[in-house]
C-alpha cells in the first residue's frame, strides 16, 4: 500500500489529498493500534511537506475522523488534545469531534473551547449539540440552542427538527413532537421519511398505535412512502407483544405496497412464526425472500430450519435446504465476501472467485476459516 502511495506521490504530488489520507489511515486503523495509526499519519504528513498549512490541517482532520469511525471518540479526543497545538484547527475539526459525544456536559465543554478559538458554529455544529442534548433528555437546552442558532441567522434544517422530535419522544411528549411536523412545513422545511419515522416511533413507544398508523397514512398522502424502518417500528412492538396476527397483516400491507423488508423485518417475522409454530407463513416469507432477494438468507434460514424441525416438517426442511445450497450460492458468497475483513484489501471479484472455489453444495455454511481469512501482514500497512 505504501509503495503505491509513494509511486503516486512521485508522479503527481497533488493527487495525494486528505481523502487519500482517510483511506490509508482507515485501513491502518482497522488492524493496528491508535499509536501505530498516528505514526502512519506522521508518515503521510511528510508527503505534505512544503504545502500550505491548510493542507496539514485537513490531514489532521482526516486522522480525527478516522479515529472516530474506526476506534472511539475517546481515542480521537485524546489525539486531538495531544496534537492540537501543532496544527491550525478549524470549524471542521470541532464538527468532527462534536458529532460523536454522548455526554452533553462534554459536548458543551468542547463547544466552549471552540468559541475560545474564535471559531463560529455553523449548522452542523448546532445539529450535533442539539442531537446530543435531545438524546440526554435535555430538550429545554436543545430549544435554547435552537433559539440561539436562529438569532445567528442559521436556519434549522430537517436534521435539526428530527433530533428535537426524538428528544420530545424521550421525555414523553409525542403530541408536541407531531406539532413540530406542522411547524416545519409552515417554515418551509418539509419533513422527510426520517422525520416521520421519529414521530411515529414516539407514538409506538407510548402504545398509541392509532396515532402512529395515522401518521404513516399522512406521510403516504404527502408522497413519502414508508420504508422498512417505518414498518420495523410496528414489527418490534408486535414482536414483544407476541402478536403474530397483527405482524402478518402488517407484512401483507408492506408487501402490497411493494416495500421490501430488510433483515431486521424478516427476523421479527420469522421468530414470531417460530414461537407460534406458523410453518405456512414462515415458508411464504422465505419464498418471498428467494423471489425478490431481500433479507439475509443465512440468518432467516437458521430460524426457519429450527421451526421446520421442531414441527416435524423434515421433508420441507430438506427441500428448502437443497434450494438454498443449489440456487442461492451466489448470494451466500456475496454475504461471506462482505463479512470478510479481506473485503478491505482485495477487489470484490477476486474474493468472489476465491470464495466460490471454497464453497460447495455440501459445505456452504462452514467454509474453512483459514481459507477465508489468510493472515494479514500488519507490517506491510505501516
pLDDT along the chain (382 residues), means of 10: 67 72 86 91 78 69 91 90 89 89 86 93 96 95 96 96 97 96 94 97 97 97 96 98 97 96 97 97 94 90 92 87 63 48 46 49 42 48 52
Whole-model pTM?
0.79
83 lies in the same domain as 1: yes
Which residues, 6 or more positions from 108, have their beta carbon under 8 angstroms from its beta carbon?
129
**Does the residue 109 lie in any domain?**
no
Q: What pLDDT is stored for residue 327 in this prediction? A: 57
Let me know whether 275 and 349 are in one domain: no
Dihedral (Cα; 361, 366, 368, 374), 10-degree rounding: 110
pLDDT at 52: 54
Measure the CA–CA gap between 236 and 216, rounded to whole angstroms: 16
SS3 37: helix
C-alpha 73/C-alpha 106 separation (Å) is 11
Place of cell 430549544: 143
- Cα–Cα dist 170/95, whole Å: 25
130, 164 contact by CB (below 8 A): yes
Q: Of 89, 108, 135, which residue sits at a domain end? A: 89
Q: Does residue 122 belong to any structural domain of this protein?
A: no
Q: Are 282 and 320 in contact (CB under 8 A)?
A: no
Give the residue from 262, 281, 314 where a domain finishes: 314
List phi, psi (to 5°) of 370.
-65, -35
Q: State whether 310 and 247 are in the same domain.
A: yes
Q: Is there a single domain that holds both residue 292 and residue 364?
A: no
Residues 274 and 357 grouped into a single domain: no
Is residue 184 one of the residues assigned to a domain?
Answer: no
Q: What b/e string do you get for 226-236 counting C-beta neighbours within 10 Å, with b at 16 or more?
A: bbbebbbbbbb
Q: Which domain holds residue 345?
A: 328-382
| pLDDT number for residue 102 | 80
Max distance between CA atoms of the chain, in angstroms, equals 73
Number of domains in the chain: 3
Q: What is the pLDDT of residue 331?
A: 52
Amino acid at each position: 500500500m505504501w509503495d503505491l502511495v509513494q509511486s503516486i506521490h512521485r508522479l503527481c504530488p497533488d493527487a495525494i489529498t486528505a481523502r487519500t489520507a482517510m483511506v490509508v489511515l482507515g485501513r491502518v486503523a482497522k488492524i493496528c493500534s491508535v499509536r501505530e495509526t498516528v505514526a502512519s499519519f506522521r508518515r503521510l504528513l511528510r508527503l505534505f511537506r512544503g504545502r500550505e498549512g491548510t493542507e496539514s490541517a485537513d490531514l489532521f482532520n482526516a486522522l480525527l475522523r478516522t479515529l472516530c469511525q474506526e476506534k472511539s471518540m475517546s481515542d480521537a479526543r485524546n489525539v486531538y488534545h495531544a496534537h492540537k497545538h501543532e496544527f491550525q484547527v478549524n470549524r471542521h475539526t470541532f464538527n468532527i469531534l462534536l458529532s460523536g459525544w454522548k455526554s452533553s456536559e462534554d459536548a458543551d465543554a468542547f463547544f466552549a473551547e471552540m468559541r475560545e478559538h474564535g471559531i463560529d458554529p455553523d449548522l452542523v455544529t448546532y445539529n450535533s449539540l442539539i442531537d446530543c442534548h435531545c438524546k440526554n433528555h435535555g430538550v429545554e437546552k436543545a430549544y435554547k440552542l435552537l433559539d440561539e442558532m436562529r438569532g445567528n441567522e442559521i436556519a434549522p434544517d430537517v436534521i435539526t427538527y428530527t433530533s428535537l422530535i426524538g428528544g420530545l419522544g424521550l421525555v414523553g411528549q409525542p403530541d408536541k413532537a407531531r406539532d413540530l411536523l406542522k411547524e416545519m412545513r409552515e417554515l418551509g422545511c418539509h419533513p422527510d421519511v426520517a422525520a416521520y419515522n421519529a414521530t411515529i416511533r414516539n407514538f409506538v413507544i407510548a402504545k398509541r398505535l392509532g396515532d402512529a398508523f395515522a401518521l404513516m397514512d399522512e406521510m403516504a398522502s404527502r408522497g413519502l412512502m414508508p420504508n422498512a424502518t417505518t414498518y420495523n417500528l410496528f414489527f418490534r412492538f408486535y414482536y414483544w407483544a407476541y402478536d403474530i396476527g397483527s405482524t402478518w397483516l402488517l407484512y401483507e400491507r408492506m408487501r402490497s405496497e411493494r416495500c421490501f423488508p430488510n433483515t431486521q423485518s424478516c427476523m421479527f417475522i420469522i421468530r414470531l412464526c417460530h414461537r407460534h409454530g406458523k410453518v405456512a407463513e414462515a415458508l411464504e416469507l422465505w419464498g418471498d425472500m428467494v423471489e425478490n432477494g431481500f433479507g439475509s438468507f443465512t440468518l432467516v434460514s437458521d430460524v426457519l430450519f429450527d421451526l421446520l424441525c421442531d414441527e416435524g416438517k423434515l421433508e420441507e426442511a430438506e427441500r428448502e435446504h437443497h434450494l438454498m445450497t443449489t440456487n442461492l450460492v451466489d448470494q451466500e458468497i456475496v454475504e461471506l465476501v462482505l463479512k470478510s475483513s479481506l473485503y478491505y484489501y482485495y477487489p470484490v471479484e477476486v474474493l468472489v472467485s476465491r470464495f466460490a472455489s471454497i464453497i460447495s453444495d455440501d459445505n456452504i455454511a462452514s467454509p474453512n476459516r483459514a481459507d477465508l481469512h489468510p493472515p494479514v501482514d500488519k507490517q506491510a500497512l505501516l
